[in-house]
Amino acid sequence: MKRLFASMTLLALASCSAAAQPGPTSGKLTDETMQHGGMTRRYLVHDYSDGKPAPVVIVLHGGGGHPENAVNMSQMDVVAAREHFIAVYPGGTGGMPGGKLLTWNAGHCCAYAREKKIDDVGFIAKIIDTLVASGRADPKRVYVTGMSNGAMMSHVLARELPERIAAIGPIVGAVFGDEPPPKAPVAAIIFVGATDQTVPAAGGPLGGPERRGVAANLARRPEDHDVAPDINQAEYWAKANGCAAPVLSSGGQPKPAEVRWEKCTSGKPVHFYRVANNGHAWPGGKAGRAEADQPTPEFNASEVMWRFFAANPKK
């Protein structure tokens, strides 16, 4: 129990208790469950597809979050309602009652899901297969995004399920530097916060260098690992996708620093944004709680991400 709370404090993933904000009211909004791995797993389906096979964007909450929290923080429903796609908000797992403090098993992170070796890859694969089998989802246009621990999980899903996932859009996440090559290339658009102290841009312990002493006293399991520098996420996928040298843009306020790999033998590009005036938060979205990092209103990651997703279906 103490380890769970310590892990949540270390990550400070800004996703614990935000009340849902008003959003689009059209569409079919359902709260669904399925059995997987001996557990009842929950996910929200917000269907704005007008009743025909549509793109699907799966949005993974951060560590300590939950599905409603992901709806609020990402504001993905606003885009889904306008563009007529299906937004899906799965829930991770946790050891606390109430179904709120949930995490994903992204290898080295995080908390309950990692410690219990939860099969989150199988869970998300089952959601995708269920949506495709029902005729709701276009199998060539399934995309995954997520924040922090959810962003880490999106990398895992793309690595393990490239036959199902067309592209990913991690937000303020990381890789750890010891990931195996993916099974196949996947297009990726990656967003990090220029002032993020929780998942530090230069790499290192989650929570930043000032938390290293704390982390050392948390009885961390052997598989715990510092994160790699933020750009390593893009470089990992650029290598996997057979991309040539990138094009760099220095950006400037409020435009984010930007790196693009467009010439890729796989045909699957990689874009990287380091968003100015943004810490550990979903750019253009909502903060998880009042004391958390406030997202910049000057850059909307959900809108930019959707344009990338729409341009990169599975071939």
Secondary element (H or E) of residue 169: strand 167-171
Task: For residue 272, give the 3-state DSSP assignment.
Answer: strand
Residue 65 and residue 15 in contact, taking contact as beta carbons nearer than 8 Å: yes
What sign does the CA torsion over 156, 160, 164, 166 have?
positive
CATH code of residue 148: 3.40.50.1820
pTM: 0.89
For 104-141, how does the pLDDT look when each residue is reduced to its tens digit (9 = 90+)?
Answer: 999 999 999 999 999 999 999 999 999 999 999 999 99
Whether the per-residue pLDDT at 267 is higher than 70: the answer is yes
Domain count for the chain, please give it.
1
Domain boundaries, position 191: 2-311
For 193-245, how does the pLDDT look when each residue is reduced to its tens digit (9 = 90+)?
Answer: 999 999 999 999 888 655 444 334 333 444 478 999 999 999 999 999 999 99
Q: Count the neighbouring beta carbons within 10 Å of the beta carbon of residue 69.
A: 27
26 exposed, middle or buried (CB, 10 Å; 0-12, 13-18, 19+)?
Answer: exposed
Taking residues 171-175, report their average pLDDT.
97
Q: Count the neighbouring beta carbons within 10 Å of the beta carbon of residue 68.
A: 18
